[in-house]
Structure 1
């Protein structure tokens, strides 16, 4: 498991499973000859996208960003449609760290799409129960409201199986919330109406977790937004605000979906100055 330590904060990437989605959808109106130079594509025009939660450990607390795609949350048709070739092994990753799901104190959900939220619940016999029974689950009020009342477009990505077992653990916020000293969750909108990012400030360094505003390193251009985005102009506005600021400040950008990088530092010209690579089999 790859790690990144910044001051008193340690990040560890867990194995949450993998999907393969259409590259054109992931890069929107950007022509394939451009985006395919930045991110590999297979013969089905799909790109590999991890769904790997980030474990944050600080001041004795264990905090997850996202939860992976879970286990047995999709039938064969959904697995085929979403290109799932590997399901979650978050619990075994935690075991390697001498932890269990019961040790997770908080789960930060940047948004509640299936590929981020399936790991919130799990099957015990024929019943869905909370995977992390002792955790507060943080998400924006706007996101939660759409999760439980999806519209005609979002009903395919907000699943009742991912919220009914955990609704008593949810803590909502509006604009932003500091969940622990130096760790803020900030509502941005864009990818979804309730989408948020995570900003970690540790001593003289910062980490920006842009979630699905920048799902891979190849999405670091403000205009390269997803066809999946519900509000693409909001995504662009937020990327214009956060990405140049992060590059100028040499912050770490971390990823949930990227199959090649766990984290990157860019300079103001977009050149990589430091990185954490994902170990590939």
Structure 2
């Protein structure tokens, strides 16, 4: 049974509740479920006022302060508003997932500054380090959740924050865009997702484009696959080597910090 249908049934049983968190994001048309999760199996988050005596083994009941203007309806189902859903995801999800979710909300028009203002009167939000870091690091240039996760992994490994969707003049006078990277060094990284890069033709196009960028524009673009999200160290080592080769000259402390973080990343990253 779909998440939407199950949400409607839950509200029929618990009309005082509101759908929130990742489930609300799904109802808003955004997929912020953990990688590999099925929406048909996801335990729906049901938000209720503090002190509400509600138990339902089929869902996760969350007690929270929820001002009336933080709620609305989607297809007749009470849900948290788009902004409140973004705020909750940014506040409560693990760091990498929070930023990946927030990138999607910002692409839908949510303003991070408005979220900070929304958080100010909420006791468990206004001083949240996790929330404010997510707001600072969000970037609407990410075109997929896994691009967002890759960007956060790069930052957390000690690298400078990469720019997203870097425009480079192409061979026919048109613009081509590099997913993320460092324009001053001409070093980039692109996430080759299964959906858009799995066909032989797509892979050939990508390889031709990157060869052209290297030979004509002196760009080194490192392609990464899905295993980057759990085993990023080989890709990050290649990124570091490319940046140094292209003239990056950070303080020795920065290199030492990156080396330490890469050593710690030898163990696989747990996917939330």
**Fold shared, TM-score > 0.5 on shorter chain:** no
Question: What's the TM-score, normalizing by structure 1?
Answer: 0.25
> Comparing both structures, which one devotes a greater share of its residues to strand?
1
Greater RCO, 1 or 2 (C-alpha within 8 Å, sep 6+): 1
Question: What's the TM-score, normalizing by structure 2?
Answer: 0.26
> Comparing both structures, which one devotes a greater share of its residues to helix?
2
